[in-house]
Amino acid sequence: MATETETFDTSAYISHHLQNLVYGKLPAGYEREEDGHHEVLEHAEWTWAHSSQEAADMGFNALHVDSLAWSFGLGVVFCVLFAMVARKATSGVPAGLQNFVEMIVDFVDGNVKDMFHGKNALVAPLALTIFVWVFLMNFMDLIPVDLIPKIMEAFGIHYQKIVPSTDPNITLGMALGVFILMLYYSLKVKGPIAFIKELSCQPFAPPTKGPAIILAPLLIAVNLFMEIVGLLAKPFSLGLRLFGNMYAGEMIFILIATMFVGGLSFWFVLGGLLQVGWAIFHILIITLQAFIFMVLTVVYLSMSHEEH
């Protein structure tokens, strides 16, 4: 938890915990200031960001190393864990970890059968991967906010965000992957002509005969605008919904952690109770957000397999 200090800066504490470990490119002529040392870069340089300002100045040429490392690491944990259970699975009555994994598989499979109306062997494994992977990323939010960052500081790493789903780059990246699959299956199942017709002929069917046919181009343009906006809104809402909920939860944990520097036992006890209470409630949130991301993915892919 936050250490006690008479000059504790709450704003700096919060900002520090919300800063990613960033590796990116700074332009030539960039002025760096650290510990009173002034430096001007003669050439564009790939380097670690030493502050939130440097991370912002790197712009698009930057990698959130902590978010990438934790998300990939948790993905490996998921693959190894489920592969281990699959190798040791028995045909008898399951027990222990096998029973737990089978419950998750049956739960996801049942939901996919209820929501997906096409024929695609990829959807159920994809839904299982999304649910477990997003849940594991969300679960990192239950680890005390200062525990791993303090451990990392011992190795000279001063910034560390361990909850990948609080990074919009991660959530929007996953949503982009779902969006690409939506477009792929829309074109594959419906065909390019049928897909374009679907975008341009609903919700207002253009007239095909009579004087009203002169309005057809206008109606097609209106349909395209409305449908494309609706299509693009799906990945944005998918990624931002997960990010917003998890970011808010992380902020509450950080704010509660600031109570431990009050210097009074009352604030310490109150902070501890609030941490436990919010963690218990947050278990529901992290599970629900993983479920919603999975459900929306399956629904969007189902829509991509259906012809209106």
pLDDT in tens, 208-254: 777 767 878 888 888 889 989 999 999 999 999 999 999 999 999 99
- Is residue 47 in a domain? no
Q: State the pTM of this model.
A: 0.88
Share of the chain above pLDDT 70, in %: 93
Contact 199, 228 (CB under 8 A): yes
Give the pLDDT of residue 43: 86
Percent helix, strand and coil across the chain, each rounded to 5?
70, 5, 25
71 occurs within a structural domain: yes
Q: Is residue 29 part of a domain?
A: no
Cα 265 → chain centroid: 37
In a domain, 160, yes or no: yes
pLDDT computed for residue 62 by the predictor: 92
Question: Could you tell me the pLDDT band of residue 75, with boundaries at 50, 70 and 90?
Answer: very high
Strand partners, 25: 46
Which residues are catalytic, by number?
237, 241, 245
Whole-number Cα distances in Å, 298 to 204, 205, 209, 249, 308: 27, 28, 39, 26, 18
Name 45's bridge partners.
26
State residue 107's pLDDT score.
Answer: 94
Q: Could you give the CA distance from residue 153 to residue 21 in angstroms, rounded to a whole number? A: 12
Q: Domain containing 298: what range?
A: 10-19+66-304
Residue 224 lies in a domain: yes
Within a domain: 60: no
Least confident window among 1-10, 84-93, 202-211, 255-264: 1-10
pLDDT (tens digit per residue) in 251-301: 999 988 888 765 567 677 887 888 888 889 999 999 999 999 999 999 999
- Decide if 33 is inside a domain: no
Count of domains observed in the chain = 1
Q: Which residues contact 23 (CB under 8 A, 6 or more apart)?
A: 46, 47, 48, 49, 62, 63, 65
Question: Which pLDDT does position 308 carry in this prediction?
Answer: 61
Whether 163 and 73 have beta carbons less than 8 Å apart is answered as no
**Distances, alpha carbon 73 to alpha carbons 131, 142, 146, in Å:** 16, 17, 20
24-28, 71-75, 134-138, 293-297: segment of lowest average pLDDT: 24-28
pLDDT band for position 141 (cuts 50, 70, 90): very high
Model pLDDT, residue 266: 67
Count, in order, helices (H) and strands (E) of the chain.
Answer: 10, 5
* Predicted confidence (pLDDT) per residue in 187-207, tens digit: 998 888 888 888 888 777 777
Per the listing, tokens 């909850």 go with 163
Mean pLDDT of the chain: 87
The predicted model gives 67-84 an average pLDDT of 94
* C-alpha–C-alpha distance, residues 101 and 89, integer Å: 10
Who has greater pLDDT, 7 or 31?
31
Please report whether residue 136 resides in a domain.
Answer: yes
Q: What percent of the chain clears pLDDT 90, i.e. is strictly above it?
A: 48
